[in-house]
Structure 1
Amino acid sequence: MDTRKTAPPLKIFSAFFRLGLTAFGGPAMVAYIRRLVVLDKEWVTEDSFKKGIALCQTIPGATAMQAAAYAGLRAGGPWGAVAAYVAFGLPAFVLMVTLSSIYVQVHDLPTVISLFSGLQVIVIALIANATISFGRRYLKMKQDIFLVTGSAIFLGLGGNPIIAILSSGALGLLLYRRHSLECEEKKAATASTKSWEMMRPALFLLLLAGIFLSVLFILRPDLFSLAVLMMKIDFFAFGGGYASVPLLFHEVVKVHHWLSNQALIDGIALGQVTPGPIVITATFVGYLLAGFPGAVVGTVSIFTPSLFLLLLIVPFFDRLQHSIFLQRALRGVLISFVGLLLAVTIRFGLAVHWTPISMLISACAFAALWKKINILWVVLVGAVISAMLL
């Protein structure tokens, strides 16, 4: 997994910042990252990039953000990873803070209410489409229906989605033990000294996270609670950014009552008109709770665990990806998210006031997303129509 060329962190930051300005479409941005680092800059080989994407799809977090960090790691080492990660997400953060500030000032105006009434039903179409995409990708066996149904009912009854995720991982070890997997189990060699040396950046990041949490605990207990919650969400968001939605719903709406159903949907909608992954909704949540400091804490916290896991696992991934036990557990975890997303789609749908026009807008948005029309255009066109008709 060697790179063709190396680059200083500043150059990596500049390249990924420019890319981040147009990073609409979530996971679809992986193709643009590949074009940048494999074809244009020649920082990463094709084979290395493919292995990196396999890693990014295995660990929790937004896939496109993880891909940027992995490419930066291969191009410029640990500091290159940080540079790419921060630069790729920075434009989305700046725009989301701006939109959140405007939202706080004008969200109760009649025109804005009409606008967000339309955006809310578009978000429901978006999550429904993500649910179907998850299902088409991961549902292959009869046992899968058991995990999907169980996860959906459990969350629908108010259960903690993290319990559903962990239980599904454990059940995956049992349910899929007789079925062949894409990879064969291989004996893992003892970790080399070089591998342990490569773990130092991850351990350093862990130390910084500990200091960050300690300072918040002493100075701002409210922000400490926000940080811990967002880190927990990111740590369990397997399968990409959309996997964070059921976790956000449970923690932010059901447990802590920080936001209403409608407000969280509004935040998700705003996230779709910003570049970057759907987890940028954490910026919106943080801003509504504690202004700009809350936005910073929410954003840093939602992205830190996945970067830590990436830096931690890269040295050992060649061995881990051949573990048949890991593959079984991971399959169970990913399938549980189909049920969790289904439950959230239903809960959001019940929370929205439906009219014939809003139903039509939602149906058209779903059809457009199904045809793979860019999310940005779906949201923008839907917003204009909503402002005029609702």
Structure 2
Amino acid sequence: MNIPSLSELYLQFCLFSLMAVGGANALLPEIFRQVVEVDKWLGGAEFATFYAIAQAAPGPNVLIVALIGWKLLGVPGALASMIGMVTPSSIIAFGVGKLWYRFRGSPWRKAIERGLAPITVGLVLGSGCLLLTTAATGWGLYAVAGATTVASYFLRHNPLWWLAMAAILGALGVV
């Protein structure tokens, strides 16, 4: 495993922050590519585990960033990665928010909203596919992922119920 310096970790997550259209989940394929494939800071299974932990924990989806930083450099790494991830996008969001409110009736604002929605959905879908192919080791996991997707869409229950059911299936050795 290649360990970055604190400043390298901070700057890498600053760059991720600037690409975060749709939130941290939309960035998962790029974070995975950089952290696992390019820099080799983590293994694929470890990345998938961190994602699962971050999703199960209360709080924002961006918690995976803190877990990556913590694994690499402890508490200072967790802080550096989180600060790097939230600072640039927060500053930009504050500035854009003022403009967004100012031009609330503008036709170009509506066009941007219509254009960003499918991009965000596509990025999040890509993230899900990446995590599935990284974590899945057999047809059972693909079946659980498919059933969870369908159940989430049609039943509209809290996703933690699906996570709990998948954990039970895993504990029983079904998947």
Structure 2: gaps of 5 or more residues:
none
Residue in 1 aligned with 2:73? 290
The 1:358–1:243 alpha-carbon spacing in structure 2 relative to 1, beyond 3 Å, is: closer
- Of 341, 351, 363 in structure 1, the residue corresponding to residue 146 of structure 2 is 363
The 1:347–1:315 alpha-carbon spacing in structure 2 relative to 1, beyond 3 Å, is: closer
Question: How far does residue 342 in structure 1 lie from its aligned partner after superposition?
Answer: 4.0
Question: How far does residue 324 in structure 1 lie from its aligned partner after superposition?
Answer: 4.3
Is this contact kept in 2: 1:241–1:278, CA < 8 A?
Answer: yes
Residue in 1 aligned with 2:53? 270
Residue 166 of structure 2 corresponds to residue 382 of structure 1: yes
Q: Structure 1 length normalisation: TM-score? A: 0.39
Residue in 1 aligned with 2:21? 238
Is this contact kept in 1: 2:136–2:142, CA < 8 A?
Answer: no
Letter in 2 for 1:376: L
Residue in 2 aligned with 1:313? 96
Any idea what the Cα deviations from partners look like across 1:229-248, whole Å, max 9, x if unmatched? 21222222112342222332
The 1:339–1:312 alpha-carbon spacing in structure 2 relative to 1, beyond 3 Å, is: closer
Question: How far does residue 300 in structure 1 lie from its aligned partner after superposition?
Answer: 1.9
Letter in 2 for 1:373: H
- Could you tell which deviates more after superposition, 251-260 or 226-235? 251-260
Any idea what the Cα deviations from partners look like across 1:67-99, whole Å, max 9, x if unmatched? xxxxxxxxxxxxxxxxxxxxxxxxxxxxxxxxx
SS in 1 for 2:145: helix
Cα distance in structure 1, aligned partners of 2:57 and 2:129 = 25
Question: How far does residue 277 in structure 1 lie from its aligned partner after superposition?
Answer: 1.9
Any idea what the Cα deviations from partners look like across 1:239-296, whole Å, max 9, x if unmatched? 2342222332232223322222222111110011111121111011101111121111
Q: Mapping of 1:1-390 within 5 angstroms? A: 222-325=5-108, 328=111, 331-370=114-153, 371-389=155-173, 390=175
Percent of matched pairs sharing the same residue:
25
Cα distance in structure 2, aligned partners of 1:388 and 1:237 = 37
- Could you tell which deviates more after superposition, 241-250 or 352-361? 352-361
Cα distance in structure 1, aligned partners of 2:93 and 2:121 = 24
> What's the C-alpha RMSD, in Å, of the aligned pairs?
2.7
Is this contact kept in 2: 1:271–1:278, CA < 8 A?
Answer: yes
Is this contact kept in 2: 1:238–1:334, CA < 8 A?
Answer: no
Higher relative contact order (CA 8 A, sep 6+): 1
Q: Structure 2 length normalisation: TM-score? A: 0.78
Cα distance in structure 2, aligned partners of 1:314 and 1:303 = 16
Is this contact kept in 1: 2:36–2:42, CA < 8 A?
Answer: yes
Which consecutive segments of 4 or more residues in structure 1 shift more than 6 A?
none
Structure 1: gaps of 5 or more residues:
1-220
Is this contact kept in 2: 1:234–1:303, CA < 8 A?
Answer: yes
Q: How many residues align?
A: 170
Is this contact kept in 2: 1:267–1:285, CA < 8 A?
Answer: yes
